[in-house]
Amino acid sequence: MDLSTLEQAMLDGDHGEALQTAIAYQKKVGEFWGAQRFVPVSNVHMMGDIEVMGDGGLAWLKAFAAHDTPCKVNVTTNARCIDFAHCDALGQTPAEVGKERQLIQQLRKLDVVTTDTCINYQTVYQPHMGEHVAWGDTGTVIYANSVLGARSNFEAGPAALAAAITGRTPEYGFHLDAHRKGTFAVRIDAELADLADWGLLGKLVGQPHQDYYAVPVFHGYHGSPSADELKHLGAALASYGSMGMFHFVGVTPEAPTLEAAFHGGAPGETLVIDNAALERAYAGFGLGDGDARLVVFSGPQQSLFEMKRLAELFEGRRVQPGSSCFVTTNSAVLAQARGIGYAAILEAAGVTILEGVCFYILQNLSAMRIQNGWTNMVSNSAKLVNIIGAHRFNTILRTTAQCVDVACTGRLA
C-alpha cells in the first residue's frame, strides 16, 4: 500500500504502540482486499457487546485502553446484548453481565460514545454525501451507502476499532466509485403498505443474489419511502443477500435517474416484485407447531415513529397471559417515548421494552428459548426472522398490526 508520511510514521511506531498496532492491522486488511491507499474517516460505528466480541474482543479493547490513546474521531457503539434493568428477569449469566460492564468501561476509556444502537443513522449521526466512515453493523452500512450517499464497508470489530484509533481505513469496496454502480434492476409493482412488506422485498431481492457487490436498483414505486421503510429494506438486503448498497431511483442521492444509477451502463438482470410475490412469500413462513407466545419488534431497533405506531396498536389491549412481547430501542428513543407517553401505553399492555439491545444478540437467548418453551417467534422484521434461526426458532414474518394481534390473542394466522 502507498502510505503517507504520517501513516508510515504510525507504522514505524513514532506515534506510540497503539497506533502502530492499529495501522499494521489495517494494512494487512487493505492488502488482502487489494487497497492501494488509506482514506481518512470522520466517524466510526463499532460493535460493543460481549456476546459478539467475546473474551478475545474484550482483551483487544483492554490492550488498546491500557495505552491511554483515545480515538481520533467520534465513535459510537452498536446494540448491546444485555439490558441491565432486565438481565435478572431474563436469566442472563451473571459472569457475562459483569464482562459486559467491563467492556463498556474499556470503550469509555478509549473515548467511545456508548450509544448502544443499531439505528445511529436515525438518532445520532448522519454522514453526508461522499463522506468516508468506518461502520460495522450491516444494517447501518447499507443505509449509509445507499440512503445517505456516504462510503463504508462492513467493518469487523477489530477493524472498526483500528479505524477509530488511526482515523482512516483502507480504500477498497464501497469507498470506490467502481463498486457503487447498480448491477441489476428491480421494478416494484407492489403496494408495500407495511414495514414488513419492505423487509420482505429485501428478502425476495437479496436471497437469490447473495453477493456483497451486487447493487440492486429499485424503480417504479409510486411514492416516497420513509426512513423506516428504507431501514427495513436495507437491513433485509444486507441480511439475506450480504449486500452493502442499493439505489432507489428518485429517492437515494446517487440515483436521480435509472441511467445514473447504472453509471450509464445496462442492468445485468431485471426483477419484478408484485403483490402476488409478497403474498406467496408470506405464505411460505410455516406456522410450526402453532405456538404464538413470542412476538418481537427488534432488528433493527425501533425508531420513535415505530414506537408511536406500536403504542397506537396496543392502546387499550393486553398481551395474552402466558405470552411475551419484546420491543427494543435505544436510550434516546426510549427517553422520548417515555416523555410523550408511548412507553407507558406499551408497558400497560404488558409489553417488555428493552433498552440498548437487539433481541437476536441477547446473551443466553438459546437458554431463554428452552426455559420458556418458545418454538416460534413472530416479528415484523424480515432481518430478525432470518438471523435468529441460529437459535433454533421457527420464525414467522407478519405485518405490524398482525404481530400485535398475535401478541394479544395468542393465536397465529
- Residue 216 and residue 352 in one domain: no
Domain count, the chain: 3
3-state secondary structure of 118: coil
Q: Which of 261, 282, 303 is the last residue of a domain?
A: 282
Residue 389's pLDDT band (boundaries 50, 70, 90)?
Answer: confident
Mean pLDDT for the stretch of residues 241-247: 98
Rounded to a whole number, what is the distance in angstroms from the first to the last CA of the chain? 57
Which residues form the domain of 196? 181-282
26 within 8 A of 37, measured Cβ to Cβ: no
The CATH number of residue 323's host domain is: 3.30.499.10
Cα separation, 136 vs 22, in Å, equals: 16
* Per-residue pLDDT, 68: 87
* Per-residue pLDDT, 413: 81
| Triad 323, 326, 329: Cα angle to 5° | 170
- Residue 42 and residue 150 in one domain: yes
Tell me the percentage of the chain whose pLDDT exceeds 90: 97
- Residue 198 and residue 134 in one domain: no
- Residue 87 and residue 194 in one domain: no
Query: What stretches of 39-91 show up as alpha helix (H) in DSSP?
Result: 50-65, 87-90
The chain-wide mean pLDDT, for the chain, equals 97
- Residue 292 and residue 278 in one domain: no
Quick: pLDDT tens for 298-344.
999 999 999 999 999 999 999 999 999 999 999 999 999 999 999 99
- Residue 18 and residue 165 in one domain: yes
Partnered with residue 170 across adjacent β-strands are 38
Residues 6+ apart with CB under 8 A from 236: 198, 199, 200, 201, 202, 203, 206, 382, 383, 386
378 within 8 A of 345, measured Cβ to Cβ: no
Single-letter code of the amino acid located at 71: C
3-state secondary structure of 278: helix
Q: Which of 176, 201, 230 is the last residue of a domain?
A: 176
- Residue 25 and residue 119 in one domain: yes
* Per-residue pLDDT, 168: 98
Quick: pLDDT tens for 271-294.
999 999 999 999 999 999 999 999
Cα separation, 119 vs 228, in Å, equals: 10
- Residue 308 and residue 377 in one domain: yes
- Residue 155 and residue 207 in one domain: no
Tell me the percentage of the chain whose pLDDT exceeds 70: 100
Quick: pLDDT tens for 52-110.
899 999 999 999 999 989 999 999 999 999 999 999 999 999 999 999 999 999 999 99
Q: Is the pLDDT of residue 366 over 90?
A: yes
Quick: pLDDT tens for 13-31.
999 999 999 999 999 999 9
194 within 8 A of 401, measured Cβ to Cβ: yes
- Residue 25 and residue 171 in one domain: yes
| Triad 362, 87, 357: Cα angle to 5° | 40
CA distance to 155, 163, 208, 333, per residue, from 44 (Å) = 9, 7, 31, 21
Single-letter code of the amino acid located at 351: V
pTM above 0.75, yes or no: yes
Q: Which of 147, 176, 205 is the last residue of a domain?
A: 176
* Per-residue pLDDT, 230: 98
Residues 6+ apart with CB under 8 A from 158: 25, 57, 60
Residue 181 has which C-alpha cell? 454502480
